[in-house]
Amino acid sequence: MEIAPGAVNPAIRNEEALRFLLTRRSRPPKTLAAPAPGRAEILEILTAAARVPDHGKLEPWRFVVLEGGALARLAGEAAAFAQARGLAEDVAAKGVGQFAQSPLCIAVIAVPRPTEKVPTVEQELSVGAACMQLVNAALAAGWGAGWLTGWVAHERDFAAPAFGLAPGEWVAGLVHIGTETAAPPERPRPDLEAIVSWRDA
């Protein structure tokens, strides 16, 4: 069948994928419970997460999968860190809860590569794409998933030993994955008329 220039090829259009993207919704990590995906399923999800735009094929990201004992250990370390720093109780609880309540957490680590060909901002955008792709892959695989950060990601003195960060590396996202226990209500979406402009000349 000949396709006219500019026309949509119905054999290529993926209705199921479009429906997913138009209705996808992250799940609040606090609503996720065990069981979490097993290692074979995690590897499939990570394979999809790593399939993102990556100018120069630098792979400016890596993943740290946190399960069972690692999550319990980090919850304890986060509690001790928060106490030592005198963090407010509610702030401390949010950080500790990310590990204490999570059935599975995958930390997405930004790994800047020194190169003159690819600006740092392009590498950072690739890292963000990996976070988003990770969430979407987990959702598409039938799991609940949500992307958080918070002080446990941004406080260097905690994050560096917690996630084994090398100099220059930083935590872009903590993606929590598990079994959905409650579907969140739909929330307002962006008004396209306010954020889209058209130019034809």
Binding positions: 24-26, 51, 55, 147-149
Cα 87 to Cα 81: distance, rounded to the nearest angstrom: 9
Cα 108 to Cα 129: distance, rounded to the nearest angstrom: 11
DSSP H stretches of helix in the chain: 15-23, 39-49, 68-85, 89-100, 120-140, 151-154, 156-163, 192-195
Q: How far is CA 173 from CA 47, 64, 147, in A?
A: 17, 11, 6
Structure tokens at 112: 């800047």
Contact 178, 34 (CB under 8 A): yes
* 135 half-sphere exposure, CB direction, 13 A CA radius: 22
Residue positions in the annotated binding site for FMN?
A: 24-26, 51, 55, 147-149
Q: SS3 for 15?
A: helix
Cα 172 to Cα 146: distance, rounded to the nearest angstrom: 13
DSSP class of 6: T
